[in-house]
Structure 1
Amino acid sequence: MSPRDNAPEATPPQPLLDDEQLDRLDDFLDSEQVDDDALDLISAHGFMVALAVAPSELPNAEWLAELFQGEPRYTDDAERNEIIGLLAALRDNAMAVLEQGGLPELPFELTLDGLPAEETPIGDWCAGFMEGVFCDESAWFADDEEAAATLLLPFMLLSSLFDDEPDMAELASDGTRQEAFVVQLPELLLDLYLHYRVPPETPKPKPRKKTPAKGKKC
């Protein structure tokens, strides 16, 4: 038996809401109770995961206004609390999974299947993720702009929001690279979370050498 046979199995990606909760959010976001410019379920999922990764916490009023593009026409306070509670749970569950070093389950198959990203749920999800970044963009790039840009590159590329930029247009033509980014999305989320939430290790101070007292030998 090889050492690999004794190795623990990789933990599968963890769902952030159950199917019933996702269906409830989908029905609400697809209803006439919300503005036509509000995010749909896939985009809202990416948006809330971005808030889970973000280096700073946004007040509810700010992210709700961005997600819904206005106040939804809730039936009553109970529905309002239910919908906001589901969105907050999605964010908080993502934080809990990432905090434990786990990978979040994303609401799509991890393949473009030969299609342009903007024609797939992957593109919609990454666009929603980037909308979450835009909510407090300065915080994402405050400490190490180069590292942040590198970590966010796959999300930016797959979102198709930056196709007008020459460098992005060139990358967008590389289907093999895009497919590789898609497969890595859950791991990339964990990398981002660790980048923002786990402080870099500082070298431990070396112990001072004791100086023998005068007249004594070691």
Structure 2
Amino acid sequence: MQDLSRLDDYLCSEESPEDCLMLSDLDGFLHGVACSPVTIPVAEWMAKALGGLPGETPPWVAEAVGARFIEILDRLNLTPPMVEPIFWEAKEGHVIAMDWCEGFMEAIGLRPQEWLRLTESGTAGRLITPILVHLIDDQGNSVLGISQEDLDETLDAAADAIPETVGEIYRFWQTA
């Protein structure tokens, strides 16, 4: 993996566009774009990722984002696919995948109608579940209705499942 610390520093800085994605969100978004059932033009997804036109950021930023996207695609095309999401880690040591999952869902939002064949599938629809588990409303409640008592354990299990299921989502669209 290329050094993403410089990109992370930029995305967190005052220099970056207000609407740009942070590193974990960006990584989830790029995985979602890579897994999309249809090709999304680079200019479209890059503008969403960077919070504006790529020309409004330093050239190295768009290059770093593009390089990460190519790396994700290359790894998804391995047999078996290799997915190494960039999740945050809490001080206590547990993984926080919510931002990554929100980024993935933003990518789905670029072509929601195209994703229906997966999400409404009786068998393959389950693949999106580990991502959906991480969606929390403004009150801190699971949008899937998971009880607060079960939420931490469910989030941990879902985060562990994401690499495999993202690979399966990618393969689903390749064979569909």
- Residue equivalent to 2:39: 57
Residues 150 and 45 of structure 1: CA distance in aligned 2, closer, same or farther (over 3 Å) = same
1:102 aligns to 2:81 (yes or no): yes
Shifted more, 131-140 versus 64-73: the winner is 64-73
2:64 pairs, out of 86, 90, 110, with 86
User: 1: CA distance between counterparts of 2:14 and 2:41?
Assistant: 26
Following TM superposition, where does structure 1 have runs of at least 4 consecutive aligned residues deviating by more than 6 angstroms? 109-115, 162-167
Task: Give the 5 Å matches for 1:159-178.
Answer: 159-160=135-136, 168-170=144-146, 174-175=150-151, 176-178=153-155
Structure 1 gap ranges (5+): 1-16, 200-218
CA distance in 1, matches of 2:91, 2:173: 28
Provide Cα deviations, 1:65-124, integer angstroms capped at 9, x if missing partner: 2223323643xxxx32x2222212212211211211232222237899697xxxx64111
State the match for 2:112 in structure 1. 137
Runs of at least 5 residues in structure 2 that lack an aligned partner in the other structure: none
Match of 2:8 in 1: 26
CA shift for structure 1 position 162: 9.4
The amino acid that maps onto 1:105 is E
Deviations 1:22-56 (A, max 9, x none): 01211221222322232111110111111111111
TM value normalised by structure 2: 0.80
Instruction: Kindly provide the amino acid, as one letter, of the partner of residue 83 in structure 1.
Output: V
Structure 2 equivalent of residue 189 of structure 1: 166
How far, CA to CA, are the matches of 1:195 and 1:171 in structure 2? 31
RMSD: 3.1
Inter-CA distance 47–99: structure 2 relative to 1 (3 Å threshold): same
The sequence identity of aligned pairs, in percent, is: 26
